[in-house]
Amino acid sequence: MSNKSVLIVEDTPINLKMVRVIMQRAGFDVRTATSAEEALEVLRHFRPRVVLTDIQLPGIDGLALTKHLKSSPDTRDIIVLALTAFAMKSDKQRALEAGCDGYITKPIDTRTFPDLIRQFIGATDDAASISESASTRDAAPFDFSLDNLKQSFIANGMQQSERFVNSLNTDFNYAEVQSEAHRWAGAAGQIGYVEIAECARQLEALLHQRGTDSLTLVRKTLMRLVQLFSGAREAAGPVRP
């Protein structure tokens, strides 16, 4: 088992890409999965030192994945770190109860993230095995241009949110809109669109309740998202191919 191998489990594409790029640049051997089910499949052939897992995942969530890994002699030595969007005490508590070795709140700090992971590895391994740590390799500030990611996120968000508004009177799909709202919340928070993240989180919570009386509020929140996406698009300038 390489000391610098990591499996990232994250269902939000922008977050997955960002963590992958950061860890690869820091010299880690990286694999990725967008669900716990896929992660288990990857783990049949790849034994990472660290699993970084989002807590909220479609299907089996990150906590259940952690319990599973910690209950098997084959995988219990893997360091499992939970990634979560909320700095809620209850989430932290639940992560630790599930057996996570640590807990990292999103949005992550791209400059210090690899060192943070190394610290978790260092705390677990004996000091000798981490002699080649930190500092030299990525001493330069991490400069990750997000322009293209941001623009495609905004363009896609505008298109989808308008489509969802139009579907309200016809074939509104609660599950689809809820999972899209979850992705918006996670991605927008990570790339700095705080208002979109907040609004998407409200929408996700509303749809989670699924009361028919909340449909007016769902419509209002969706319209607000259309506005926010459109405002962000104007601020971001023309979309490049």
Give contact residues for Mn ion (rule: CB under 5 A): 11, 54, 56
The minimum distance between CB 139 and Mn ion, in angstroms, equals 32
Return d(Cα 204, Cα 184) in angstroms, integer. 9
The least CB distance from residue 20 to Mn ion, in Å, is 15
Question: Is the Cβ of residue 36 or residue 117 nearer to Mn ion in the bound state?
Answer: 36
| Virtual torsion, Cα 86, 90, 91, 95, nearest 10 deg | 160
Which CB sits closer to Mn ion, 118 or 204? 204
Write down the least CB distance from residue 182 to Mn ion, Å. Answer: 6
Nearer to Mn ion, 15 or 110 (CB): 15
CB of residue 12 vs Mn ion: minimum separation in angstroms? 5
**Closest distance of CB 125 from Mn ion, Å:** 29
Spatial contact of 51 and 45, defined as CB atoms under 8 Å apart: no
- 3-class DSSP state of 98: helix
Toward Mn ion, which CB reaches closer, 65 or 121? Answer: 65
Indicate the residue whose CB is closest to Mn ion.
56
What are the residues whose beta carbons fall under 8 Å from the beta carbon of 125, sequence distance 6 or more?
3
Give me the DSSP letters along 176-197. HHHHHHHHHHHHHHHHT-HHHH
Residue 108 three-state SS: coil
Q: Encoding tokens for residue 71?
A: 């209950």
Widest CA span in the chain: 64
Residue 237 parent element (H or E)? none
| Residue 105, both tokens | 């709140």
- Closest to Mn ion by CB, 60 vs 223, is 60
Closest contact distance (angstroms) between CB of 186 and Mn ion is 5
Other CB atoms within 10 Å distance of the CB of residue 186: 27
Cβ proximity to Mn ion: between 46 and 86 the closer is 86
